[in-house]
Amino acid sequence: MSDHTSAQSPIWMGAVVAVAVLASFALACGMPFAAIGALAALTLGWRDAIILAGLAWFANQVIGFGFLGYPFDLLTLAWGLALGLSAVAAVGGAILTARLAGTTGLSRLPLSFLAAWASQQATVFVASLILGAAETAFAPSVMWFIFWTNAVAFLALAVAQMIGARIGLARPIASAVRPPANA
């Protein structure tokens, strides 16, 4: 564990991975990686946030290939890896924004979420240039659905996290995303 996480991190990470499993069944490829990445960045140290994004991605892939019938071919595997990179990019975008914005407490939430979503979608867009994607993949209606899904998931996760912090099961958002002491 990173020295910037609390003892509650495993509980919080387990809860988010459980949400990822449920979301994977409901949304498949529409998994809210940006929402998970943003909240992980705001509540965990950077290493644990990346681990959590990776665990959420892994859970999504297990559900997709194991239960939802994703085809086991090279292109689908490549897209799976691209989604994993996009989940990590969401964490990175949220961390950088929260640190650079210099804001505190709840004002970090919308900025970090928007940065996570933009970073995650930019990664998916670059992957689409390499791997190919349907012309409709980035249509306004699709982008709106992905944004809306992530926004609702982020709000729900933030509320759950705040409740968890009140009862001692999670770390308060206001204390997260600070630069390492030795940096």
Which residues make Cβ contacts (< 8 Å) with residue 181, sequence separation at least 6?
Answer: 3
Question: Would you list the domain boundaries of the chain?
Answer: 9-175
The tens digit of pLDDT for each residue in 125-177 reads 999 999 988 778 889 998 999 999 999 999 988 888 888 888 877 777 755 55
Which residues make Cβ contacts (< 8 Å) with residue 174, sequence separation at least 6?
Answer: 104, 105, 106
What is the pTM assigned to this prediction? 0.84
pLDDT at 3: 39
Closest-CA residue to 154 (of 11, 21, 36, 26) = 36
The structure tokens 């194991």 sit at 66
pLDDT at position 42 over 80: yes
